Amino acid sequence: MAAHGKSMEAQASPDRVWKIWSDVSTWPRWNPDVQAIEIRGPFASGTTGTMTTKSGGSHAITLQGVQPGRSFRLETAAVPLTRFAFECEVKPRGQTASTISQSITMHGPLGPVFSAMMGKRIAESFGPILSGLKAEAERQAG
């Protein structure tokens, strides 16, 4: 399945970025699309919750592939017969900087159709999201 994504450099350590990214209570503050989010349990693979976005309403979410300090995947079924997987990753870039990335893949019977129709447009929305995360991490690092 095709992945659509964006990356950005941040002048903050991967630990600082991860601390913010893995604390969902901060998401509405720096993610321009998240109105509310709650998870039922720790920020770990298999934890479920609900996220309300400005663009798509409320959806059940599941965290998968959580590698503390590095990456996670947020999965949701926002459209029929399709599972969206948002891959989020932070990599070190020197001692005090990071590369932050977010991408989306779509799976299921209609995954290829929605990926072709919406994948690039959804990936464009990652710019403001990553910019918000970057600004929050840099503000806290300073």
pLDDT tens for the chain, 142 residues: list them: 678 999 999 999 999 999 999 999 999 999 999 999 999 999 999 999 999 999 878 999 999 999 999 999 999 998 889 999 999 999 999 889 999 999 999 999 999 999 999 999 999 999 999 999 999 999 987 6
Alpha-carbon 67 to chain mean position: 14
What pLDDT does 2 receive?
77
The answer to whether 43 and 22 have CB atoms below 8 angstroms apart is: yes
Asked if residues 133 and 16 have their Cβ atoms less than 8 Å apart, the reply is no
Q: Map out the domains of the chain with their CATH numbers.
A: 4-141 (3.30.530.20)
Identify the pLDDT of residue 142. Answer: 67
Q: What pLDDT was estimated at residue 1? A: 61
Helix (H, G, I), strand (E, B) or coil at 19: helix
**pLDDT confidence of residue 120:** 93
Q: Is the pTM for the entire model greater than 0.85? A: yes
3-state helix, strand, coil in the chain (%, to 5): 30, 40, 25
Residue 140 has what pLDDT?
86
C-alpha separations of 48 from 30, 45, 86, 118 in Å? 21, 9, 14, 25
Nearest to 86 by CA among 14, 3, 20: 3
